[in-house]
């Protein structure tokens, strides 16, 4: 079974307090779901049409594990805390 990667790109942070509340809940929810944080922060370098925006990369053992974690009550509580505090793009991509 191929691993899966949860990739979040933060287009804009509109409320840092909401992001902090989200992070406090999301980290434990993601690790409890089997996620492993591989990278997070501002890119060291961007190319082509890349944007210098906060990016988070999390590895899971499968797409099913990643989506189950996203849909879990614990992660949904984190999303409720985040509300409209950021504009971001979140994707789950199957590894090769």
CATH number, residue 89: 3.30.70.100
pLDDT at 16: 96
Which sign, positive or negative, has the C-alpha torsion 85, 86, 92, 96? negative
DSSP string, 29-64: HHHHTT-EEEEEES-S---TT-----EEEEEES-HH
The reported pTM is 0.93
Range of the domain at 30: 4-94
Residue that is written with structure tokens 């590895």 in the block: 59
Alpha-carbon distance values, 66 to 27, 49, 52 (Å)? 13, 27, 25
Give the CA distances from residue 8 to residues 1, 48, 76, in Å, rounded to whole numbers and listed in that order. 23, 19, 16
CA–CA dist 53, 43 (Å, integer): 7
pLDDT tens sequence across 21-77: 999 999 999 999 999 999 999 999 999 988 899 999 999 999 999 999 999 999 999
Give the number of domains in the chain: 1
Write down the pLDDT at residue 15. 97
């Amino acid at each position: 079974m191929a691993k899966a990667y949860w990739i979040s790109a933060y287009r804009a942070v509109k409320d840092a307090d909401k992001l902090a509340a989200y992070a406090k809940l999301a980290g434990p929810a993601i690790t409890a779901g089997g996620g492993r944080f591989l990278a997070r922060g501002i890119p060291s370098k961007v190319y082509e049409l890349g944007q210098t925006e906060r990016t988070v990369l999390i590895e899971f053992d499968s797409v099913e594990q990643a989506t189950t974690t996203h849909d879990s009550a614990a992660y949904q509580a984190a999303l409720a805390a985040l509300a409209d505090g950021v504009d971001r793009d979140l994707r789950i991509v199957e590894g090769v």
